Amino acid sequence: MKSKAAAKKILGEVPFSADIYWLMRQSEEPPTKNYYLNKLDNALPGWVDQVAKSRAQINGEGKKILIFAALHYWISHITLVGATLSGLGHEVNLMYLPYARWEEPINRFDLRQQNLYTKSVLRKADTILKPVSLLDVKTYNDQLPDQLIEVVEKISLRDTQYTEQLEKVDQDSALYRLRLERNQEAAQKALHWMREKTPEVVVIPNGSILEMGIVYEVAKYLDLPRITYEFGEQRNRIWLALDKEVMRQETDHLWVSFKDRSVPSGEIEKVRDLFDSRQKADLWKNFSRQWQIAPTQGGSMVRQQLGLDERPVVVLAANVIGDSLTLGRALFSGSMTEWLERTVKFFAERSDLQLVVRIHPGERYTKGPSVADTVNHALKSVPENIHLIAADDQTNTYDLLEIADIGLVYTTTVGLEMAMSGVPVLVVGQTHYRGKGFSFDPNSWEEYFSLLTSFSQDQESFKLTSDQVKLAWHYAYVFFFEYPAPFPWPMPKFWKELEEWPIERVLSPEGMAEYGDTFRYLVGEPRSWAN
C-alpha cells in the first residue's frame, strides 16, 4: 500500500498522468471509494429532460447565477438545486471542488481522478448547466488582498475548531495548515473567476465553514448579492439568508414584522404540541429530531435524584463544545469554554446557590472533549452545590426546567424554552432569540456576574411577567413556523424526497404554488414578511 501511495504521489506531479490513466480505465465508476456520484450520474438524464421541457416554456431572461459547493454529497445537492433554477429560466454556473473529505490530505493524482470523474458525470448536464471545477481555474499567482487574507485565516481556524470540536486549537497543526492551504487556493481562484465572470447572484450552502465559507467571503468582498442556505430538523423546510451567513439565524427583521401581530390560537397550539413532544421525547410531525433520551419523570423526582435542597437552583444548559452554532458567537467571553470555566468558579464560591450543569445529549455522538472535562479542569474538586448531568444521563431536560429558578445558556434553544416555561434566563452568546424581550442579555463580565449576584439576593425581581412568557411563545411560533421556508429537498435525505417531489413536479404550477417563493428567494429576491 505504501508503494502504491508513493507512486500516486509521483504521478500526481506528472502532467496529464491522471488524464491518461482515466482514459485507460474506460470506466465511469468512482475512482476512489470515498468519492461517489453514482445516484447523480443515474438521475441526470431524467433531470435534463424535465428541465428542458420547462425552459421551453419560459419567456424572458433569468439571472446569471453561480452556485458553489465542495464535497461530493453537496455537489449532488447543488446540481439538483441548480438544475431547478435552470428550469426556471436562469443561467446557472455550477462551481465545485471534488473533495471527499475536508480534514484529510489527498494526493494530486487521486484529486485529479476525482475531478475527471466529476466532469464526466456533470457533462450530461451541459445543456442546462455550466459546470466549472474550481481546480481548473487559472489564477496566474494572483495575490489576495489583505482583507481576504484575514478572512481565510479566520475560516481556517473555524474549520479546525469545527473538525476537532475544540475552541482552543493549535495553529501549527497539520489540520490547520491543510485547511489554510486549501482555503487560500479556493479564495484566489474564486476571486479570479468572479471578477472575470461577474455573476449576478452567488448561492452557497452553509456559507460559514470550509470552502463554502471562503466563496461566501469572496462574493462579499466583491459586493455581489449572495444567498446562503442550510437545513434544520424539519422536513421540507430550508433556512435562507440574503447577504448573511445563514447559520447566524438572524431573525431581527422577521421579529420586527411579527412581534406586534396577533397569532391565531390554532397556530400557538402547534407550538404547544411541539413543546409537548420535546418533553415526552417523541417525534413531532415533520421534525426529524428526538430532543430527549427519556420522557419526563417530574421535577420532584429529579430534585430527589440529584439531592437538591431548598437553596435556589440555577440550571446551565450547555451546547456541544465546538458546535457550529457556538463558534464565533462570543460576546464578552473569549469562547463558550471560558464562559463555562468562569461560571463554575463563581458558583464554587457561592454555597448559597445550587448549579446544575446539563451536558448536551449531543455529546454522545461527538469526539471532542466533554463539558464535564472543562468543569473538572476549572475546579480542583467539584463542590457539593454543583451537579453535572452527563450527556447519556436519562434525566429529561424539561424536568430541570420545572425546578429551575433561573437558567444560563450560551446559544442553545433550551434558553428559549426556559422563557416559555416562565424561567428567567441569562443569554451570554450571540443567538437568534437574544434581545427579543424575554431574556436577560448581559454585555460584559461585570454585568453578567452582577446579575447572578442580584439573583442570589432577590429571586422575585427576576421572575418573568405573563406578557414576557407570552412573548416567548409568540417568538417560538415565528422561529419554528415562519422563519423556515418551504423546500422540497432538504439534506441529507433529498434522494428520498425526490421520489415525492421530482423536478418536473416542482416546476409545475402545483410545485410553484408550494415552493415558487422559495426559489425566488434563492436567486436573491428579498424575502417579504408583510404577508
Spatial separation of the C-alpha atoms in residues 309 and 307, rounded to whole Å: 7
Measured CA to CA, the distance from residue 490 to residue 484 in angstroms comes to 11
d(CA 284, CA 233): 11
Q: Which residue has the cell 489527498?
A: 106
pLDDT in tens, 89-108: 999 999 999 999 999 999 98
Averaged pLDDT for residues 116-124: 95
Q: What is the mean pLDDT of the chain?
A: 89
For cell 463554575, the residue is 344
Beta strand pairing call for 91-97 and 313-317 = unpaired
pTM score of the predicted model: 0.89
239-256 burial, b at 16+ Cβ within 10 Å, e below that, comes to bbbbebbbbbbebeebbe
Bridge partners of 202, per DSSP, are 66, 226
**Is residue 526 helix, strand or coil?**
coil
**Sorting pLDDT into bands at 50, 70 and 90, what band is 291?**
very low
DSSP string for 309-347: -SS-EEEEEPPPTT-TTTTT-BSSSSSHHHHHHHHHHHH
- Please answer whether residues 357 and 383 qualify as being in contact, where contact means their C-beta atoms are separated by less than 8 angstroms: no
At 95 the three-state DSSP class reads: strand
Grid look-up 420547462 returns 54
Distance, in Å, from the CA atom of 309 to the CA atom of 11, rounded to the nearest integer, reads 70
The string of DSSP letters for 254-311 reads HHHHHTTS---HHHHHHHHHHHHHHHTT---TTB-----SS----HHHHHHHHT--SS
pLDDT for the residue 531: 62
User: What are the structural domains, with CATH classification, of the chain?
Assistant: 1-136 (no CATH), 292-482 (3.40.50.2000)
Q: 308-335 in b/e burial notation, b at 16+ Cβ within 10 A?
A: beeebbbbbbbbbbbbbbbbbbbbebeb
User: With 80 as the cut, is the pLDDT of residue 447 above it?
Assistant: yes
Strands 237-242 and 485-486: antiparallel
Query: What are 250-286's pLDDT values in tens digits?
Result: 999 999 999 998 887 777 888 888 777 666 644 334 4
